[in-house]
Chains A and B, each alone.
Chain A
Amino acid sequence: MKRASFRSASVIVAAAMVAGAIITGLLPGYWTYLATSVLISAVALQSIGLVAGRTGMIALCQMSFAGVGAWTVGYLNVGGAPGNLPVWIFIGGLAAVPFGVAIGLPALRLRGINLAIVTLGFATAFDAILASITFPGQTKFIAVPRPEIFDSDGGYFIFVLIFYVFLAVGLEFLIRTRLGAIWLAVRHSERAAAAHGISIPGAKLSAFAISAFIAGISGGLLAGYLGTLVADNFNMMQSLALFAVSTMTGAQFAEGALIGGILAVAFPEILRRLNLGQDIGNVLFAIGATQALSAGESMSETLRRKVRGWRKAAPAPLDAGARIAPPAAVPLRHGTALSTRGLTVRYGAVVALNHVDLAVPEGAVSGLIGPNGAGKSTLIDAVAGFLHSYSGSVELAGDAVDDQPAHVRARNGIRRTWQTTRIAPELTVGAYVRLAGGEMSDAEVQAILNWIECPHPDTLVASVDAGTRRLLDVAGVVAARPKVVLLDEPAAGQSYEETIKLGRHIAEIPKLFGCAVLLVEHDMDLVRAACSEITVLDFGRVIAAGAPAVVLEDPRVRKAYLGIEEGNAAA
């Protein structure tokens, strides 16, 4: 994990040093001037890459945040504030953060599209306000001075390059932390993220605030670059174009932001030299972004996929950690881990669950079976907090959790998996286990993965087959060592041998991780192998409960599954 961050960071620093030497040493002054512009655009693109590409939100006011940063720098300059440009730029970045938070807070708890509307609204409002208050120093032509040693075009290029490298390296480290994994998880599936105990508004707000900071920095850099600014530099069309470019190139990656910066500067420059309108560049960005959205893949993602294909990185050998012992056994608890009382769920006129009383004992695996539509998944949704309303109550170790939202229930010890796996494919296997289970040592991660026979922690989830991802789902929930684990058809899509093996692993969960397990499954071999007791649901009611051998022979259960009385079937 750390090693990967250091590796990317050193690649960035080395590339920057080479590029810096070439551009300032060999290229004519005008090219250096353009290259500075590329870097400033790349910083702005990184800011939108963080919210749009990485966290999956549509943010349409990044240039307004940049405008806040630039305005602050101008204000500090005109006001004769202490310090110099680098300090002011940093303050400008910080000044953009409260704006980001103030806009983000009301929108982030709601559906994603609202953020697009509110940010576009802010961009219009900011345009109107900026046009009337103007930039500090704009009317008196007071330029923002550059630091003395960075005053030349080449010097300012180096100045901007240093900022770019700092931000790019910082982001490389940030995206490999748990917070980085959280952003990807939120983008991929908000529900799945909440099921890991992640507060969705918190995750989005952190991304939005950091992004506003970076955008503010880009504005400050632009202030030093141009000296004097006009409102048009931060016009909302610029924000929209920035969104299109970032979508097209994948600005959440360092190379995507740089490619985007190059395109954003090169297109208008080429068009200008050809005596064509510079705005035609935006048409190309629009087409590029539409293409990327329809392919579901930005330029950098395509690039990364190709590079991975060339390298054919041999999946790290499993035996590397084969000697690592499985997780140590924990003392078993006694009592009832989870219970529902009179749990009732209605969808309109349909009663999906009808006064269900269910108890999941500590230290054991309980099964929940029933024909399709019996209400099994609805029960998991209700218990884990994913339904808007239900009546009755859910108790975790005797405490009612009914007023807790999903992520709080997850933190307090109710973890679930999904019928279809919802792991963000951009994560590594190890990062996913940490995302689900919280911070833990490399040895712990390795031990859990070895126990359930998942690949090496550095393997990318995208390169793992669907069956193994189901196992990874299970590894994730048990890694958190919650009080209760709800497994929703973990064997769906697995082969017979895999299912038998999975059954063995599930049976070990209470002993190794101290969790009670509620297993929802159709595969009776798995249920028999893993469960010490079974509850049967049919049409939202409990029709039988008890030891597997008894329950599975119950004629009512057989009828629910086969749809006929056994005697009639013979006749």
Chain B
Amino acid sequence: MNGLLTSAVAGLTAGGAYGLLGVCAVFTYRLVAVVNFTSAAIGTAGTFVLVVLNEAGIPLFPAVLCGLVAGVIAGVAIGLVMTKWFAESNASTKAAVTVALLVGIVAIGLRLTGGQHPHHFPDLFSGSAMRLAGVELTISSLLTIGLGVAFTILADVLLSRTRMGLHLRALSERPMAAELIGVPVQFLSILVWGITGAVTAFSLMIIAPQRSPDFMSLSLLVVPALAAALIGLFRSFWMTLIGGILIGVVEGMTSVIGGLNQYRGAVPFLIILAVMLWLQRGARWDEAR
């Protein structure tokens, strides 16, 4: 039993990162109406900048900063493609575009980072924060979850309490109309892409040392992120965060149940299926086209 608890807690770091990535996905969807399949790839790009700089002997802190900046740049680059050419496209086309971009980014990423060539991923926050009921809580798990909570609160407040949030919501519903009434559409969308780029880069930096450290595997962390967003129905930040943590914890628990560990990758899929079945209660029309 204690083993199960320990492994569940061990999944908290990943869970927190999933939650954070999921909240970013919901943030992007609610503000610029894009289901972004490239989000984890954007974060991965930032993470590899950190790794490469760190390997070149640059101290951790400035390297992390450069990595975050790289995340912002990558996010803004994708954002420019989306706002320039696809601002008026329907949600399905936008999602298809991000899938296509993901294919390209992963190819470039694998090329630049040498494919499966091993890299050293620095553990940003190693060590234990505290012991609770005989179980270690690591700093990184507390940090990702804390960050997730902070970002969730921030996103919630921004969207529902501020004038900028109102503008952003108008932007996602009807970009053209929002532009006509004087909302700085381009600027705000790019801002959203930049912020989510930084946040995803940070989450990826924390979770990367625990994963197979190649560009592709890390980019595909978008799957648990979107699974978490689905639990929040692409609306609720809190449900998304909880969903992400849940996925991490379930993944962690598979490690103690004999023989299940190698199927860890199937956990997000099973959770997605469960959520879908639960959502089956009423047909929904695709947006009017």
Residues of A within 8 A of B (CB): 56, 58, 60, 103, 106-107, 109-114, 116-118, 120-122, 124-125, 127-129, 131-132, 188-191, 200-201, 236-237, 240-241, 243-244, 247, 277, 279-283, 285-287, 289-290, 293-294, 386, 388, 405, 422
B207 within 8 A of A: no
Instruction: Say yes or no: A124 contacts B269, CB within 8 Å.
Output: yes
Complex Cα distance A560/B106, Å? 61
Instruction: Say yes or no: B99 contacts A121, CB within 8 Å.
Output: no
Known contacts A243-B100, A286-B104; can you find 15 more A-B pairs with CB under 8 A? Answer: A58-B96, A103-B273, A111-B91, A112-B286, A117-B230, A122-B269, A124-B265, A128-B266, A200-B283, A236-B220, A279-B111, A281-B107, A282-B107, A290-B85, A294-B86
Known: A113-B95, A121-B223, A283-B108. A128 touches B103 (CB 8 A): no
By secondary structure, the B interface counts as helix
CB proximity of A129 to chain B, nearest CB, Å: 6
User: Can you give 8 contacting A-B residue pairs, CB < 8 Å?
Assistant: A125-B268, A128-B263, A129-B265, A129-B266, A200-B283, A240-B102, A286-B107, A422-B289
B20-58 CB contacts (< 8 Å) to partner A: 35, 37
B181 within 8 A of A: no
B101 within 8 A of A: yes
Complex Cα distance A294/B82, Å? 10
Instruction: Say yes or no: A110 contacts B279, CB within 8 Å.
Output: yes
B158 within 8 A of A: no
How many residue pairs link A and B with beta carbons under 8 A? The number is 161
Which of B86, B104, B265 is close to A128, meaning CB atoms less than 8 Å apart? B265
> Which 7 A-B pairs have CB atoms at the shortest separation, nearest pair first?
A286-B104, A128-B265, A125-B266, A106-B276, A289-B100, A282-B107, A121-B269
B98-137 CB contacts (< 8 Å) to partner A: 99-108, 110-111
Which of B111, B220, B285 is close to A191, meaning CB atoms less than 8 Å apart? B285
Residues of A within 8 A of B227 (CB): 117, 121
Instruction: Say yes or no: A293 contacts B283, CB within 8 Å.
Output: no
Instruction: Say yes or no: A120 contacts B226, CB within 8 Å.
Output: yes
Residues of B within 8 A of A279 (CB): 107, 110-111
Which of B85, B99, B110, B111 is close to A243, meaning CB atoms less than 8 Å apart? B99
Residues of B within 8 A of A188 (CB): 289
Complex Cα distance A59/B273, Å? 15
B256-276 CB contacts (< 8 Å) to partner A: 262-266, 268-270, 272-273, 276
Instruction: Say yes or no: B86 contacts A293, CB within 8 Å.
Output: yes
Q: What residue in chain B is nearest A103 (Cβ atoms)?
A: B273
Known: A60-B99, A237-B106, A294-B86. A386 touches B285 (CB 8 A): yes
B216 within 8 A of A: yes
Which of A124, A132, A285, A290 is close to B268, meaning CB atoms less than 8 Å apart? A124
Complex Cα distance A125/B264, Å? 8
Which of A120, A190, A247 is close to B223, meaning CB atoms less than 8 Å apart? A120
Known: A116-B95, A120-B37. A247 touches B273 (CB 8 A): no
Q: What residue in chain B is nearest A292 (Cβ atoms)?
A: B100
Residues of B within 8 A of A289 (CB): 96-97, 100, 103
Instruction: Say yes or no: A121 contacts B262, CB within 8 Å.
Output: no
B93 within 8 A of A: yes
Known: A58-B99, A283-B107. A191 touches B288 (CB 8 A): yes
CB proximity of A237 to chain B, nearest CB, Å: 6
Residues of B within 8 A of A236 (CB): 220
B81 within 8 A of A: yes
Known: A120-B226, A124-B220. A114 touches B99 (CB 8 A): no
Q: What residue in chain A is nearest B97 (Cβ atoms)?
A: A293
Instruction: Say yes or no: A282 contacts B286, CB within 8 Å.
Output: no
B2 within 8 A of A: no
B147-195 CB contacts (< 8 Å) to partner A: none
CB proximity of A159 to chain B, nearest CB, Å: 30
Instruction: Say yes or no: B97 contacts A117, CB within 8 Å.
Output: no
B92 within 8 A of A: yes
Known: A189-B289, A386-B285. A106 touches B277 (CB 8 A): yes
Known: A109-B280, A117-B230, A286-B104. A128 touches B99 (CB 8 A): no
Complex Cα distance A120/B95, Å? 12
Complex Cα distance A114/B97, Å? 15
Known: A132-B263, A240-B102. A247 touches B96 (CB 8 A): yes
Known: A190-B286, A283-B108. A114 touches B230 (CB 8 A): yes
CB proximity of B96 to chain A, nearest CB, Å: 6
Instruction: Say yes or no: B263 contacts A129, CB within 8 Å.
Output: yes
The interface centre, meaning the residue of B102, B106, B107, B222 with most chain A CB atoms within 10 A of its CB, is B107
Instruction: Say yes or no: A280 contacts B268, CB within 8 Å.
Output: no
CB proximity of A418 to chain B, nearest CB, Å: 10
Instruction: Say yes or no: A132 contacts B91, CB within 8 Å.
Output: no
Q: What residue in chain B is nearest A107 (Cβ atoms)?
A: B276
Residues of A within 8 A of B270 (CB): 125
Instruction: Say yes or no: A110 contacts B284, CB within 8 Å.
Output: yes
Known: A118-B273, A121-B272, A128-B264. A286 touches B103 (CB 8 A): yes
CB proximity of B197 to chain A, nearest CB, Å: 19
Complex Cα distance A188/B99, Å? 21
Complex Cα distance A191/B266, Å? 34
Q: What residue in chain A is nearest B220 (Cβ atoms)?
A: A124
Instruction: Say yes or no: B100 contacts A190, CB within 8 Å.
Output: no
Residues of B within 8 A of A244 (CB): 99-100, 103-104
Residues of B within 8 A of A125 (CB): 263, 265-266, 268-270
Q: What residue in chain B is nearest A241 (Cβ atoms)?
A: B103
Instruction: Say yes or no: A114 contacts B96, CB within 8 Å.
Output: no
Which of A122, A128, A131, A286 is close to B100, meaning CB atoms less than 8 Å apart? A286
Q: What residue in chain A is nearest B84 (Cβ atoms)?
A: A294
CB proximity of A406 to chain B, nearest CB, Å: 9
CB proximity of B127 to chain A, nearest CB, Å: 30
Residues of A within 8 A of B269 (CB): 118, 121-122, 124-125
Instruction: Say yes or no: A285 contacts B272, CB within 8 Å.
Output: no
Residues of B within 8 A of A405 (CB): 283
Q: What residue in chain B is nearest A131 (Cβ atoms)?
A: B262
Instruction: Say yes or no: B104 contacts A287, CB within 8 Å.
Output: yes
Residues of A within 8 A of B273 (CB): 103, 106, 118, 121
Residues of B within 8 A of A120 (CB): 37, 222-223, 226
Instruction: Say yes or no: A285 contacts B226, CB within 8 Å.
Output: no
Q: What residue in chain B is nearest A199 (Cβ atoms)?
A: B283
Complex Cα distance A244/B277, Å? 29
Residues of A within 8 A of B283 (CB): 109, 200-201, 405
Residues of A within 8 A of B110 (CB): 279
Instruction: Say yes or no: B276 contacts A114, CB within 8 Å.
Output: yes
Known: A124-B265, A127-B265. A190 touches B99 (CB 8 A): no
Instruction: Say yes or no: A111 contacts B286, CB within 8 Å.
Output: yes
CB proximity of B41 to chain A, nearest CB, Å: 11
Instruction: Say yes or no: A132 contacts B262, CB within 8 Å.
Output: yes
Complex Cα distance A122/B220, Å? 12
CB proximity of B21 to chain A, nearest CB, Å: 13
Instruction: Say yes or no: B265 contacts A111, CB within 8 Å.
Output: no
Instruction: Say yes or no: A121 contacts B268, CB within 8 Å.
Output: yes
Interface string of B207-227 (1 = CB under 8 A from A): 000000000100010110011
Residues of A within 8 A of B104 (CB): 244, 282-283, 285-287
Complex Cα distance A243/B95, Å? 12
Q: What residue in chain B is nearest A294 (Cβ atoms)?
A: B85
Complex Cα distance A282/B110, Å? 11
Residues of A within 8 A of B103 (CB): 237, 240-241, 243-244, 282, 285-286, 289
Instruction: Say yes or no: B93 contacts A293, CB within 8 Å.
Output: yes
Residues of B within 8 A of A189 (CB): 288-289
CB proximity of B101 to chain A, nearest CB, Å: 6
Q: What residue in chain A is nearest B91 (Cβ atoms)?
A: A113
Q: What residue in chain A is nearest B274 (Cβ atoms)?
A: A106
Residues of A within 8 A of B37 (CB): 116, 120
Instruction: Say yes or no: A58 contacts B86, CB within 8 Å.
Output: no
